[in-house]
Amino acid sequence: MHSLRLCSLTLLASAAVALASDLKIDVTLPVECDRKTQKGDAIEVHYRGTLTNGDKFDASYDRGTPFGFQLGAGRVIKGWDEGLLDMCIGEKRTLTIPPELGYGNRGMGPIPAGSTLIFETELMGIKGVPKPESIVTKATSSSDESATETGTGTAEKVAEKVEEAAEVIGTVLADTDDAQEHNEL
């Protein structure tokens, strides 16, 4: 029975780790557009990066120049390659990036190893896509839908993972009940 409890705890811990590695995307200024960012786009982004304690470690705003890179090409941390997809010019997002999608267990300048990173981002441009003359923001109900679609349904994910773990534990318990009847061995 001890090994069964250990197995149950391991399954629950695995579910917690799976949740911890989820990227959180909060759309803080939803924008309407015809063309959103896609993998392979050359984009320019203004950003402010902080640690979970609020300490700023970098900001393109301080330099007055947005950061340019090719989206989805592995030239930036995975949290950016994933978190800046399907974004409109002028849109703002806050990305909460777990270590697995950031710098992992290695320190990087002022960023300690194992850090969760928070980036306030603003898409300034997509190469080859004309900048809109004016930014049209989405209605509030659309922003709620957008937030859910982009990964902020954490409570639902927790419930789903716990349900999966409970199902596996139930199966393991059912399988071990048969073994309990043969204690003479």
Q: What is the pLDDT of residue 67?
A: 98
Active site (annotated) includes residue 119: yes
Q: In this predicted structure, what is the pLDDT of residue 134? A: 86
pLDDT value at position 170?
Answer: 52
Q: Is 77 a catalytic residue?
A: yes
Domains in the chain (CATH in brackets) are 1-21+152-185 (no CATH), 23-150 (3.10.50.40)
Query: Model confidence over 75-107: pLDDT tens digits?
Result: 999 999 999 999 999 999 999 999 999 999 999
Q: Write the CA distances from 81 to 2, 43, 75, integer angstroms.
A: 43, 11, 8
What are the DSSP calls for 37-104, one per residue?
Answer: --TT-EEEEEEEEEETTS-EEEEHHHHTS-EEEETTTTSS-HHHHHHTTT--TT-EEEEEE-GGGTTT
**Which of 15-19, 55-59, 131-135, 137-141 reaches the highest mean pLDDT?**
55-59
pTM, to two decimals: 0.66
Q: Which of 26, 41, 58, 81 is catalytic?
A: 58
Mean pLDDT of 143-153: 42
Encode pLDDT of 26-54 as tens digits: 999 999 999 999 999 999 999 999 999 99
The residue whose two tokens read 């204690």 is: 183
Is the Cβ–Cβ distance between 91 and 85 less than 8 Å?
no
Choosing from 25, 43, 47, 97, which is the catalytic residue? 47
pLDDT over threshold 80, residue 141? no
Coil vs helix vs strand at 137? strand
111 is catalytic: no
The single residue of 25, 43, 77, 89 carrying the catalytic annotation is 77
pLDDT band at 173 (very low <50, low <70, confident <90, very high): very low
Q: Tell me the average pLDDT across 137-147.
A: 54
Q: Is 61 a catalytic residue?
A: no
Across the range 17-27, mean pLDDT stands at: 75
